Amino acid sequence: MKFAGDNQWVAPYGVATFVGTVGQDYSQFYAVAALIPEWEFNVQLTHYYDDPRISSDSYTAWSVYAKRRLWQNEAETSGYAVLGGLGLIPQHLDKGEVTTDFHSWWVMGVATYPFANNTIFLDLLPGVTANFDHKQSAKTAWGFTYSSRVAIYKIIPKSAIVGEIFGTAGKAFSPTSYRAGVRWESPKWIVAATYSNAFDGSYGAGLEIGLMFFTEPLFGKNRKKGNQ
């Protein structure tokens, strides 16, 4: 359910976001906090059902990253942002690859564009990643990450049909993959069901379901307004 793509939107100052997903290949939990205006800080845990290093047992990895909104229009339908952090990125991971601790660093740009009277949204996310222990070889591998996501509204009530293509080129390679699904949205809750796989069938997350929850502002100048 956690798409490889993202948009320019950042939660209002003081809001916390919690995300949980369950899939065929792994499960994820995210905690996101808008600790500073125009910023989000993310902590992610990904639990793989099989350890890709030994093809057995389970494996849990973590990632931390920040998102900074650079600009958006008054309607909050278009804009730009940048993300960066360290740790595992499941959507840009090749089969058998493991990146933990401080072995993987990445940065991405985000551009969001609306079309057809704000019923279609396109997100573009070019980025760069560096893995300092590629395939557990103690060698550094660089990669160019790419993601393109389209969300279409007004077909299913209160929902978006979402599709994306993503992957990594270079030595830190991951296969070009797709994800498609439906995302139901409300002011506080988002529920999604998706399917993902590589175009060559080599590796993918398969079926996933996920839930996202936004709190009221917990601190800062927005707290009183949010609690009225």
The domains found in the chain, sorted by start residue, are: 16-227 (2.40.160.40)
- Tokens for 168? 């990594």
d(CA 97, CA 166): 17
SS3 86: strand
Q: Residue 225: what are its φ and ψ, rounded to 5°?
A: -60, -40
- Tokens for 172? 């830190």
For residue 116, the tally of other CB atoms under 10 A from its CB is 10
Find, among 55, 35, 60, 17, the residue nearest to 210 by Cα: 17
Kindly tell me if the per-residue pLDDT of 50 is higher than 80: no
- pLDDT tens for residues 109-159? 999 999 999 999 999 999 999 888 766 677 888 999 999 999 999 999 999
- Cβ atoms of 123 and 141 within 8 Å: the answer is no
pLDDT value at residue 96: 54
Task: Give pTM, 2 decimals.
Answer: 0.89
